[in-house]
Amino acid sequence: MNRERIVILGGGMAALTTAFELTSTPGWEEHYEVTVYQQGHRLGGKGASGRNHERFDRIEEHGLHLFYGFYDNAFSVMRRCYEELGRPAGAPLATLEEAFEPHSLIVFEEQSEGVWQHQPLLFPRNSDPPGLGRKVPTPAELIPIMLQFLLDLFDEQPALRNGSDARSRSLGVGIRVLRRGVARLLASLRELLAAPAENLVAVRREELLRRLLAWSAAVFRRCEPLLAQQPEIRSAWAAVDITLAMIRGMIADGLTDQDDVDWLRLDHEDFRAWLRRHGASEASVRASTVSGVYAGAYSAGREMGAGTALHWTLRMLYTYRGAIFYKMQAGMGDVIFAPLYQVLRRRGVHFRFFHRIDRLRLSADRRRIAAIEMGRQIAVKGGADYEPLFDVKGLPCWPSEPLYDQLIGGEALRASGESLEDWGSRYPDQEPPLVLEDGRDFDRVVLGVGLGVLPALCEEIVADANNPRFAAMIREITTTPTVSSQLWIRDDLRATGWHLPPPVMIPYAAPLDTWADMSHLLSRESFPEPGGPQSIAYLTAAMDDDEPPPIERSAYVGYAARQLEHVRAFTAAHLDASAAHLWPAIVRPDGALDRSRLHAPASKGDPLAFQHFSPVQHPSDRYVLSPRGTTRHRLAADESGYENLVLAGDWTLTPMNLGCVEAATMSGIRAAQVLTGLPIPMHDDWLRGRPRAPASSPGPLYIERGVNESTSPPYDARSSVMVAALLRAEPRRLRDLCARHLGLHEDRVYIPLGPSVVFYAQDNRLLSAIDAPGVVAERDFGFLVPVAICERRGGRLEPLAVGAYTPYLWVDLGAALVGGREVLGFPKGHADLGFEATASGHLALHVDAWLPPEGGGAATPWRHERIVEARDAGEGARETSLLDALRASHDAAWLGAAGLDTRAQVRLLGLAADSLRTGAFTMVFLKQFRDAARREIACYQAIVEAPCRRIGAPRTSARLPRPIELSVSRRVGLASTLGLVGEGGDERVRLRALASFYMELDFTIGVGEVVTPRSSGASRWVS
């Protein structure tokens, strides 16, 4: 039997889920042989924990870990694992339910005038068991759930339940106003939302948004006087305000129109900025509930992609099963990784501990992983398999240090004090290196190590010019070191002065902004009774890199030890400055923690030194962040760029994209799907079947030279003045134009919205680009065609967005010419642009472009020629009626002929209304480069789309009092290409605008995405 040899590198949640799902497929053992390679003595990675036998078998975690109630995939894996494990009834943690205890109290911390205040929130429970996931509600279905949840949340809080027994009359009034308001809003929205989601078209959407805005303004007016004095009202209002902003944002950004939302679409913006844009107040976006989302993802003080953070927040709050959180009832290693190890081992998966992966090598043709170089850290006596677990009170557990007596030279290793989990360990490898070779030792490789170590292991891949996406992923997706400290306290929680039930607290004072009481773990440890500790506190946070993190192993020597000292000092400072607010009964008069209240043997000196501190001692352990604009750089399991390399880890593209156990589990399921080709189920897999950019990249890494002005989006324009004229155009010409310029893929279709084009002139006074400091002033004039961006699905055209294709465009600045053309594909020309415009109607615009002479000899110079001239039509001139203007911008018969059925047209109307209201639309570009030898050939051609969005409301927005009149040269062919309908002779066509507008506004153009690259023959637009 020829079994495929699957080698899994690393033993974290992602890697072990891959092994678990692969070996859950029927008959797997006939097809695969699976081996997991793990450095050091234990599995778990960022989730690893160990028992310190020398210190009463206490649990020592890499970091505090909680499961969220919505972890459908992680709970499903663990549920199946526990069932197969089959521990006898009465054994410790025999079932999933015994291993995970629901937890509902989150204490948010608010600072008011420099004083911290507890804001406890008890989250309602429900009877759904975790890990038996139901379908996740669509955004439209979520709206009533979100409002009902607010009411349930109020009911759950003694302080908010009933206004009548509130501390003061004004608090009671405030509570009643909020409660009644939310209940009325819910009732009125229910009726609007009763129809199917697809009918949430423009009119109803507008009505919803109008009601939401009016409601929140009215309630805010009534609550405002109370906000300063009543912390309960302040936090309740923040919860209401953020909920409403999320609802408004979901409606306005069209998420409620879709069953299957593309959350990545919002990731170019920071979550807080997105909430602000949808009406949340500054106080609310800074409130602890929102800060808690950031701190929970180790992103305090950083940005997070709005789509990822919103999706996470919605799942966390509204789709949890049972309880919002679950606390593990032993160490994470004992609860997760020991059962997974035992089940996988029983199934026949091989584990090779003490194997450190050093390097992946590519084949000569750079299509495959040719070899994997490993260091063999130490050998097991008698050549046997290492047995990694030991028993603590009847529970199989990982030790904090290797079980030395199984190892050859184990005593010497112990005596050295070195850790084989330290990337910079000085302990020499005890065995010769091992090189696994493609075809001889393995057929496919799963890369399951953490992101932070990839630059060291994958040097050849990062440098592979054929695979720039891998290098971009490593460059763009960032990681942070974390700190974790565990304290064993001699007093029980109540005796420390904490007066609430055991909490999870987030976000409290920096530097250790998260605290969870973990006293329930005492019964699993072996401290003496009496005389042992009575409570346990876990503290954690992200920290800044105090020195650039080294990558090479040799440079890492000593790094972990320095980090440990750093974490100790960090913790000491935190306990001196901030313990009094948590544990007022065990602090000294100066407010610092009384360290004698920490449990430690009398002989051990400073009791703080006896506690557990966990620094990042391996680059793989760095927490993976989700800053805005980065998810698009994530690679999916099958996008490594090599035939035999599959990716798994919380850094890959998954439906979650956030550093958490659920994302790691999803990535493991995806990797198993790729390996087996089977549709292994995954809950909330909204990415499945979604069109993506091609897996292989079309070119090598861009060479930065620093002087070629090729700035990249996002571009931000502040204080821009814009004049726009709607012009009549011939339908046939526009259709031809779209088909010829944008018809690169039969499934992505661009249809002109109506028989009209827009001439616009923009004076951008403060334009900035993401990768270049400072601002430039630039003018942009052009013609754009409003289009419906559609996707062909099962024979139907489905409108996705309203867009604008700009076939002609001029700028007056060289830098603007290069940046926009090169990166996005703006078809920019260089021109002198005359711009005089006022809201009162005075107007004089011109485009003087450089053109070659029509006749004359070779020595005749190019000259400036007036291509376009625009003026106001003068006193007495009247514009076309608005109805005529509307008819020109939208034509049902025309859209029907183009293939949009009635449902699609209704949806398109909704999208257009949204776009007008929010000022957000998609810019469409034909990006192309001419072949060097054959000028009629494009050597590269692609359709690029980029979001364009108004920032806030326009400062001024008005219809001009008199229409614009244009005179357009026939010389360059733009009048005929656009089918401009006007009068005039051979030289120029003269037109009068159907409607003319003046605006002063700020806007932003986001990062572009290649949606349909042109390829020879077969489509590379994969699904």
Q: How far is the CB of 559 from ligand FAD (least distance, A)?
A: 15
- The single residue among 650, 684, 778, 914 that binds ligand FAD, judged by CB under 6 A, is 650
- The single residue among 255, 300, 582, 660 that binds ligand FAD, judged by CB under 6 A, is 660
Q: Does residue 714 have a cis peptide bond before it, meaning omega lies within 30 degrees of 0?
A: yes
Our finding on whether 73 is near ligand FAD (CB under 6 A) is: no
What is the residue-wise DSSP string for 640-694? SSSTTEEE-STTS--SS-SSSHHHHHHHHHHHHHHHH-S----TT-TTTT--B--
Q: How far is the CB of 336 from ligand FAD (least distance, A)?
A: 9
- The single residue among 32, 47, 533, 779 that binds ligand FAD, judged by CB under 6 A, is 47
Our finding on whether 38 is near ligand FAD (CB under 6 A) is: yes
- The single residue among 23, 33, 45, 265 that binds ligand FAD, judged by CB under 6 A, is 45
Pick 447 or 693: Cβ nearer ligand FAD: 447
- The single residue among 7, 14, 767, 790 that binds ligand FAD, judged by CB under 6 A, is 14
Q: State the CB neighbour count (10 A cutoff) for residue 652.
A: 30
Residue 648: phi and psi, rounded to 5, are -145, 130
Our finding on whether 166 is near ligand FAD (CB under 6 A) is: no
- Spatial neighbors of 568 by CB under 8 A, at least 6 apart, are 608, 609, 613
Q: How far is the CB of 504 from ligand FAD (least distance, A)?
A: 9
> Which one of the spans 62-70, 403-411, 594-602, 975-983 is the region binding ligand FAD (CB under 6 A)?
62-70
Which of 405, 359, 361 is closest to 380 using CA atoms? 405
> Which one of the spans 284-292, 408-416, 435-443, 657-665 is the region binding ligand FAD (CB under 6 A)?
657-665
> Which one of the spans 35-43, 221-229, 262-270, 1011-1019 is the region binding ligand FAD (CB under 6 A)?
35-43
Q: How far apart are CA 565 and CA 476, in angstroms?
A: 30
Pick 666 or 721: Cβ nearer ligand FAD: 666
Q: Which two tokens stand for residue 918?
A: 């929010």
Q: Does residue 511 have a cis peptide bond before it, meaning omega lies within 30 degrees of 0?
A: yes
Our finding on whether 12 is near ligand FAD (CB under 6 A) is: yes
- The single residue among 23, 39, 289, 479 that binds ligand FAD, judged by CB under 6 A, is 39
Our finding on whether 356 is near ligand FAD (CB under 6 A) is: yes
Which of 552, 549, 619 is closest to 359 using CA atoms? 552
Which of 10, 254, 466 is closest to 909 using CA atoms? 254
Pick 11 or 807: Cβ nearer ligand FAD: 11
Pick 150 or 458: Cβ nearer ligand FAD: 458
Q: Which uninterrupted H or E stretch holds 806?
A: strand 796-811
Q: How far apart are CA 136 and CA 306, in angstroms?
A: 19
- The single residue among 130, 131, 649, 754 that binds ligand FAD, judged by CB under 6 A, is 649
Pick 660 or 1005: Cβ nearer ligand FAD: 660
- The single residue among 46, 87, 265, 599 that binds ligand FAD, judged by CB under 6 A, is 46
Q: How far is the CB of 302 from ligand FAD (least distance, A)?
A: 15
- DSSP, res 297: T
# binding residues, ligand FAD (CB under 6 A) = 36
Q: Closest residue (Cβ) to ligand FAD? A: 12
Our finding on whether 292 is near ligand FAD (CB under 6 A) is: no
- Cα dihedral 512, 517, 521, 527 in deg (nearest 10): 80
Residue 44: phi and psi, rounded to 5, are 120, -30
For 967-997, what is the HEC assignment?
Answer: EEECCCCHHHHHCECCECCCCEEEEECCEEE
Burial readout 432-463 (b: 16 or more C-beta within 10 A, e: otherwise):
eebebebeeebbbbbbbbbbbbbbbbbeebbe
- The single residue among 20, 215, 271, 623 that binds ligand FAD, judged by CB under 6 A, is 623
Pick 38 or 578: Cβ nearer ligand FAD: 38
Our finding on whether 540 is near ligand FAD (CB under 6 A) is: yes
Binding residues for ligand FAD restricted to 484-503, rule: CB under 6 A: 484
Binding residues for ligand FAD restricted to 403-462, rule: CB under 6 A: 448-450, 453, 457
- The single residue among 202, 664, 784, 797 that binds ligand FAD, judged by CB under 6 A, is 664
Pick 160 or 371: Cβ nearer ligand FAD: 371
Q: Which two tokens stand for residue 42?
A: 């234990």
Pick 63 or 782: Cβ nearer ligand FAD: 63
> Which one of the spans 42-50, 116-124, 140-148, 465-473 is the region binding ligand FAD (CB under 6 A)?
42-50
| Torsion sign (Cα): 25, 27, 32, 38 | positive
Our finding on whether 10 is near ligand FAD (CB under 6 A) is: yes
Burial class of residue 418 (count of CB atoms within 10 Å of its CB; 0-12, 13-18, 19+): middle
> Which one of the spans 598-606, 653-661, 793-801, 893-901 is the region binding ligand FAD (CB under 6 A)?
653-661
- How many whole angstroms from its chain centre is CA 1021? 23
Q: How far apart are CA 827 and CA 832, in angstroms?
A: 16
- Cα dihedral 89, 91, 96, 101 in deg (nearest 10): 120
Residues of the chain by 3-state class (helix, strand, coil), percent to 5: 35, 30, 35
Pick 12 or 820: Cβ nearer ligand FAD: 12
Burial class of residue 874 (count of CB atoms within 10 Å of its CB; 0-12, 13-18, 19+): exposed
> Which one of the spans 34-42, 176-184, 638-646, 718-726 is the region binding ligand FAD (CB under 6 A)?
34-42
Our finding on whether 534 is near ligand FAD (CB under 6 A) is: no
Pick 15 or 980: Cβ nearer ligand FAD: 15
Our finding on whether 357 is near ligand FAD (CB under 6 A) is: yes
> Which one of the spans 32-40, 99-107, 494-502, 929-937 is the region binding ligand FAD (CB under 6 A)?
32-40
As beta bridge partners, residue 779 has 763
Q: State the CB neighbour count (10 A cutoff) for residue 631.
A: 23
**1001 near 720, Cβ under 8 Å?**
yes
Q: Which uninterrupted H or E stretch holds 796?
A: strand 796-811
Q: State the CB neighbour count (10 A cutoff) for residue 301.
A: 11
- The single residue among 11, 322, 910, 947 that binds ligand FAD, judged by CB under 6 A, is 11
Pick 20 or 760: Cβ nearer ligand FAD: 20
Q: How far is the CB of 354 from ligand FAD (least distance, A)?
A: 9
Burial readout 593-614 (b: 16 or more C-beta within 10 A, e: otherwise):
bbbebbbbeeeeeebbebbbbb
Q: How far is the CB of 319 from ligand FAD (least distance, A)?
A: 15
Q: How far is the CB of 667 from ligand FAD (least distance, A)?
A: 6
- The single residue among 620, 630, 697, 941 that binds ligand FAD, judged by CB under 6 A, is 620
Q: How far apart are CA 727 and CA 467, in angstroms?
A: 45
- Spatial neighbors of 1004 by CB under 8 A, at least 6 apart, are 714, 715, 716, 717, 948, 949, 951
> Which one of the spans 13-21, 485-493, 683-691, 784-792 is the region binding ligand FAD (CB under 6 A)?
13-21
Pick 447 or 813: Cβ nearer ligand FAD: 447
- The single residue among 65, 278, 597, 846 that binds ligand FAD, judged by CB under 6 A, is 65
> Which one of the spans 38-46, 438-446, 669-677, 1003-1011 is the region binding ligand FAD (CB under 6 A)?
38-46
Q: Where are the beta strands (DSSP E) in 863-937?
A: 863-872, 920-930
Residues at the interface with ligand FAD (CB under 6 A): 10-15, 37-39, 43, 45-47, 63-66, 356-357, 448-450, 453, 457, 482, 484, 540, 620, 623, 649-650, 659-661, 663-664
